[in-house]
Structure 1
Amino acid sequence: MKEQVKKKEGPLAGIRVVDFTTNISGPSATAILADLGADVVKIERVGKGDDARHMSPAWNGESAYFLAINRNKRSLALDFRQPEGREITLKLIAQADVVVENFRRGVLEKYGLDGKSLLREHPSLIYCSLSAYGDDGPDCMLPGYDAVVQARTGIMSITGSREDEPSRAGVSILDAGSATWAAVGILSALFYRERTGRGQIVGTSLFETGVYWMNYHLVAYQATRRDPVPQGARHTAFAPYGAFETADGPIMIGISNDGLFARLAQAIGRPELTHDPRFATNPDRVLNREELEGLLNKQLRQRPRAEWVALFREVGIPCSPIQRPSQVMEDPQLAALSLLQSTPHPRIAEVKIPRLPVRLTDTPAAIRTSAPLLGQHTREILAEIGELARVEELLSKGVIGLDVEGGGDR
């Protein structure tokens, strides 16, 4: 759908997305498109909706997970498995630019809603499939969640410390990562369509994302034939690099070259460390990491964390206190970049949601509306495709659902 985009309007204004996704990865992908201005119609199960609506914790009956990744979308409660529901779905898709789904392979084929079937009818359509293990191979039909695929791709084997049990990353990095790659693929396909008029199928998965993000560990293994071990806050390639003790709490320091190490040694009052053959170069420091960290911890314990952070920042040493979410919310840099955007919600006075981490001067991304209630836009969307007269009939058959609290519209 090629239209003139107005200044200060999202770059995807005029693009309609039909969103079949649930849980975290798929809805995170369509949230990116929605923030960039696309009209995302979220198709949800009648009566139950997206599984993410039932994830803890709840806030006034609304899932925090759902609130975070379903902003800017319209909810259509629809059973596409029923003939009338499939008919409505196909009408929606006929008006759409993009379809996104994260069902297991074979589910949508039964209803003619798979990529190959839809592109035969709509050759300019962009169809994105986001899965756990990809579309081919012996395990393409396996179910998989973020932590399971972190284990499969080796991420859990290098996360945490050597003394701990295997650890997953503290955020759902493969859900968020595969969502980002899905959005990149869709944007690339839209750009290609602008030049050729042709749509295509876009595919990505949690497994592919995990393998890609393990890239330097996989290459390093080929060079050394040694598996990396968990490093905690450390980095396998640099030293000193990690969490260090101060008089009143830990501090994260990252030293990636000899020049930065010389500044660090000077700042802590131990300039002679740069001439110590154990620490003269980065490979030396990695080899003698334990001894170096012991010396640094002893020195850093002599002063409070805030003093060290101020001193290190003054001389250009990368460092930070290790913050909790409550502290991140109050971080002045977060406020300066307007990273949290407030949106009203029918059940919550104000929800502050992190915006997309990209800035566009003429067509900025924005969080315009909060995550919808289930079926909040059913009536509105049916009106757009000429099905308003059938609302009561479809409702009686359980083909659609309406949000009672919101009146079915917003």
Structure 2
Amino acid sequence: MAGPLSGITVVDITTNISGPSLTMILADLGANIIKVERPDIGDDSRGMGPFWKGEGVYFLHINRNKNSIVIDLKQEEGRKIIYDLVKQADVFVENFRYKKAEKMGLGYEKLKQINPAIVYCSLSAYGQEGPLRERSGYDAIAQADAGIIGINGAEGSEIARVPISVLDQGSAMWGAIGIISALYHKEKTGEGQLVTTSLYETGVFWVGYHMLSWLATGQEPKKNGAGHTAFAPYGAFFASDAPVMIGISNNSLFKRLCQVLGKEEWLTDVRFETNPKRVEHRENLRVAIENILQAKTADEWVSLLAEAGVPSSKVKKISEVVQDEQAEAINMWKSVSHSEIENFKLPRLPFELSVSPAEIKQAPPKLGENTKNILSKLGYDNSKIEELLAKGTVQNGWQKAENR
């Protein structure tokens, strides 16, 4: 069954995590992704270990359902191939530093001349305006600038970034939403447009609650570890063998927790009778809860709490999540045929469509795997393709990890 973006062609000259994550979303939704990579090296994420049969796991994660063509964009003939691709494309995506695409002859105004209906997405570190617009920035750098690292972790703990590419993949989602919105506008009007987003914008948006809190109170948000600024008890509490995450956001849930713990007297304790008071005395409550939890294992407590309707979970290791029954039940893992990796599986997009579902149809491509095929579809004959290969304008092959 064709995905909702079937028939949409995307020229993707992105690298690293953010841009390829964006085009992965479009690919899973059925778009034809032409992934343009550099000679010899390809996408930077190909070299990000650890490696699985010579393939970087970052690359494997976010480059399924794509076709790879290697083009030397420093060569005039290489840029001409891009122009030929853009003539037939619906979307163009880049995640270069500020104005680099323009300097390469691949900016929005240039490509709009070639294809006025093109939807052009620029995904950057800091956006297109402001004093930081020319800075390069990776996920962790943007986390620091957006205030995320400043409030991450427990009070008194070492500085720590959120240990996933939260802004890379977050900005990828916003970029995908922007592109799909622009395509809908194009369908109605025939008009293309420029879509912009950035890691920094994503970060600032996601700390919005904390910014409003500061505006309202004038107080800097504190680090709360696994806890919550506004609720108590809320966080990780140690059972006999592992921590249990418990989330209590109202008096009804607190009553159920007290019943499970055999501490109904807490309901009339002046320190705990309302949420604001529980927040004020959160440390006393934490110690009292952990003293009780030491009597059983995390799994035993989670079973009891779940039965009572109290939101809770064992704090799981990644190895446990990979084998989790819930992930299996909702089909989060999709098996994909790979030429070198047996039992290769990837996590699907975290939503489902009942009529036109997203799919993972093919494994991430080898570097330049589809170069000849893409050029042939553009109308280049075999002699011209061989000429371009001989000049190094394009490549058709995979550089092993040890040669990168």
Specify the TM-score bucket, using the shorter chain as the normaliser: over 0.9
Q: Which amino acid aligns with 2:165?
A: S
Q: Distance in 1 between matches of 2:103 and 2:135?
A: 19
Encode CA deviations 1:196-254: one digit per residue, 9 max, x unaligned: 11010000000000000000000000011111121110010100000001111110001
Secondary structure, in 3 states, of the residue corresponding to 2:237?
strand
Q: Is the Cα–Cα contact under 8 Å of residues 10 and 365 in structure 1 kept in the other structure?
A: yes
Structure 1 stretch displaced more, 209-218 or 395-404 = 395-404
Identity of aligned residues (%): 50
Q: What's the counterpart of residue 4 of structure 1?
A: none
Q: What's the counterpart of residue 31 of structure 1?
A: 24
Corresponding pairs, count: 399
Secondary structure, in 3 states, of the residue corresponding to 1:236?
coil
2:9 to 6, 16, 20: 16
Q: Which amino acid aligns with 2:84?
A: K
Matched, 1:270 2:244: no
Q: What's the counterpart of residue 399 of structure 1?
A: 393
Q: Distance in 1 between matches of 2:116 and 2:212?
A: 40
| Segments ≥4 residues shifted beyond 3 Å | none
Structure 1 stretch displaced more, 105-114 or 314-323 = 105-114
The offset of 1:405, in angstroms, is 9.4
Q: Which amino acid aligns with 1:194?
A: E
Q: Mapping of 1:220-369 within 5 angstroms? A: 220-369=213-362
Structure 1 stretch displaced more, 212-221 or 268-277 = 268-277
The offset of 1:303, in angstroms, is 1.4
Encode CA deviations 1:24-50: one digit per residue, 9 max, x unaligned: 000000000000000000000011100
Q: Which amino acid aligns with 2:13?
A: F
2:78 to 76, 85, 93: 85
Report the TM-score when normalising by structure 2: 0.97
Report the TM-score when normalising by structure 1: 0.96
Q: Mapping of 1:159-238 within 5 angstroms? A: 159-238=152-231
Structure 1 stretch displaced more, 120-129 or 22-31 = 120-129
Q: Distance in 1 between matches of 2:207 and 2:381?
A: 50
Q: Is the Cα–Cα contact under 8 Å of residues 41 and 399 in structure 2 kept in the other structure?
A: no
Q: What's the counterpart of residue 43 of structure 2?
A: 50
Q: Distance in 1 between matches of 2:399 and 2:173?
A: 33
Q: What's the counterpart of residue 375 of structure 2?
A: 382
Matched, 1:41 2:62: no
The offset of 1:350, in angstroms, is 2.8
The offset of 1:387, in angstroms, is 1.1
Secondary structure, in 3 states, of the residue corresponding to 1:156?
helix
Q: What's the counterpart of residue 5 of structure 1?
A: none
Gaps of 5+ in 1: 1-7
Gaps of 5+ in 2: none
Q: Distance in 2 between matches of 1:335 and 1:125?
A: 39
The offset of 1:111, in angstroms, is 3.3
Q: Distance in 1 between matches of 2:197 and 2:35?
A: 20
Q: Distance in 2 between matches of 1:314 and 1:260?
A: 12
Q: Which amino acid aligns with 1:321?
A: K
Q: Which amino acid aligns with 2:292?
A: Q
Q: Cα RMSD over matched residues?
A: 1.2
Q: Is the Cα–Cα contact under 8 Å of residues 75 and 378 in structure 1 kept in the other structure?
A: yes
The offset of 1:106, in angstroms, is 2.0
Q: Is the Cα–Cα contact under 8 Å of residues 379 and 388 in structure 1 kept in the other structure?
A: no
The offset of 1:110, in angstroms, is 2.5
Q: Which amino acid aligns with 1:100?
A: V
Encode CA deviations 1:58-102: one digit per residue, 9 max, x unaligned: 111100000000000000001122111111110001000000000
Q: Is the Cα–Cα contact under 8 Å of residues 86 and 114 in structure 2 kept in the other structure?
A: no
The offset of 1:374, in angstroms, is 0.1
Q: Distance in 2 between matches of 1:305 and 1:52?
A: 37
